[in-house]
Amino acid sequence: MTLTHLDPEGRPRMVDVSAKAPTRRRAVAAGYLALCPECAEALATGGGPKGDPWSTARIAAVLGAKRTGDLIPLAHPLPLEAVTVEHRFDPALRRAWLRAEVSLEGRTGVEMEALTAVSVGLLALYDMLKAVSHRMEVGPVRLLLKEGGRRGRIQEAWEDCPWQE
């Protein structure tokens, strides 16, 4: 197996995608923030002292997707066409879920953008709830679906996830 982000001498490099044909690309990722009872209660009743945590998390997720090329050293900056973010709260398991879907017509995939969106959104949610308690755990975050490009469709099942692609 050859790692595409390494040059022949084994040094990191940005992959040259100029010869690839543009295709419709889409990626979906999801993840959750595990909450302590106090944070779960705050989220269930409106969010706590910092305001509406869901709106902030959703905006942060979109911004995370848009800034992936600045955050992941070898990722290409991409002209994203759409980023959608959904949230769900599972009070029984005290999990605050985020799902991000990212798409474009381009030469490289948007998996990193979807994963970054969910990660940044969950971090923003943590930030919004930490005034209540720091007893929260970020993740896991997983890729659920990737479409387009040479490999076509790749889909990963996640039994606990409220969204199945």
Domains recognised in the chain with CATH numbers: 23-151 (3.30.70.640)
Report field, pTM of the whole predicted structure over 0.85: yes
What was the pLDDT predicted at 1?
64
Q: In this structure, how many other beta carbons lie within 10 angstroms of the beta carbon of residue 107?
A: 18
How far apart are alpha carbons 160 and 100 in whole angstroms?
16
Q: Indicate the SS3 state at residue 108.
A: coil
Reading the block at residue 135, the tokens are 């007893």
In the predicted structure, residue 13 carries a pLDDT above the cut 90: no
What 8-state DSSP symbol labels residue 61?
A: H
Average pLDDT, the chain: 93
Tens of pLDDT, residue by residue over 33-56, are 999 999 999 999 987 777 889 999
Parallel, antiparallel or unpaired: strands 154-155 and 82-90:
unpaired
> Does residue 127 have an active-site annotation?
yes
How far apart are alpha carbons 13 and 59 in whole angstroms?
31
In the predicted structure, residue 165 carries a pLDDT above the cut 90: no
Catalytic entry in 7, 16, 70, 127: 127
